[in-house]
Amino acid sequence: MKINTAEFVVSNSEVSKCPQERLPEYAFIGRSNVGKSSLINMLTNHKSLAKTSGRPGKTQLINHFKINNNWFLVDLPGYGYARVSKKTKEVFQQFITDYFEKREQLVCAFVLIDIRLEAQAIDLEFITYLGEIEVPFCIIFTKADKISKTKTDSHVAAYRKKLLANNWEEMPPYFVTSSTEGTGKEKLLSYIDEINTE
């Protein structure tokens, strides 16, 4: 799929104020600084459509970007920054859980994971939460430019093992990306295209 147009529509902290149009949408979620906003820029061929920063906590609101005038990419605030020790309900801000629980237009959540790190409890917790509320999700491993291909493969294999140990029957669909190098762009856009037309 080719992205011809990408425009920022609205930012807000209430799911009831998200765009009312019944267009399919795809949301990016994950720990602060994992690269959610950078990936949106990479996919849309923009330098700063979504605001990015080297410091965690840049994205604070639910941001809707309209793509090709017929679907949305949604950039969300990160979790796990300065709130790590609290229980799930407190760790994930209420408006984020509201978004996942109430947004009917959401087709698929993409959970971003830094490819360099071992599986983090907070990500596994969030994935379990998505399972509980029955939101379909994929995993996106980010920052693949930071490690070798061999390490990438072994880290993905370790992640699969961890999910299976956490009672998942199989690894969900996953993608390996680098926003600096454009890695994974075509595969990810083709996947979105595929589920968009189902």
Which residues contribute to the site for Mg ion (CB under 5 A)? 36-37, 58-59
The rounded distance, in Å, linking the Cα atoms of 161 and 174 is 14
Closest CA to 106 of 6, 195, 179, 2: 195
Of 47-106, binders to ligand GTP (CB under 6 A) are: 52-54, 56-59, 77-78
**Alpha carbon distance 61, 51 (integer Å):** 11
- If one asks whether residue 182 binds ligand GTP (CB under 6 A), the answer comes out as no
Out of Mg ion, ligand GTP, none, which partner does residue 44 contact, by CB within 5 to 8 A per kind? none
* Residue selected from 27, 29, 32, 64 as contacting ligand GTP according to rule CB under 6 A: 32
From 27, 179, 191, 192, residue interacting with ligand GTP (rule: CB under 6 A): 179
Q: Which of these ranges, 28-36, 82-90, 125-133, 157-165, lies near ligand GTP under the rule CB under 6 A?
A: 28-36
Q: How far apart are CA 72 and CA 45, in angstroms?
A: 15
The tally of CA atoms less than 13 A away on the side-chain side of residue 177 is 29
| 59 close to 37: Cβ distance less than 8 angstroms | yes
Residue 77 CB, nearest approach to Mg ion (Å): 7
3-state secondary structure of 46: coil
Binding site for ligand GTP (CB under 6 A): 32-38, 52-54, 56-59, 77-78, 142-143, 145-146, 178-180
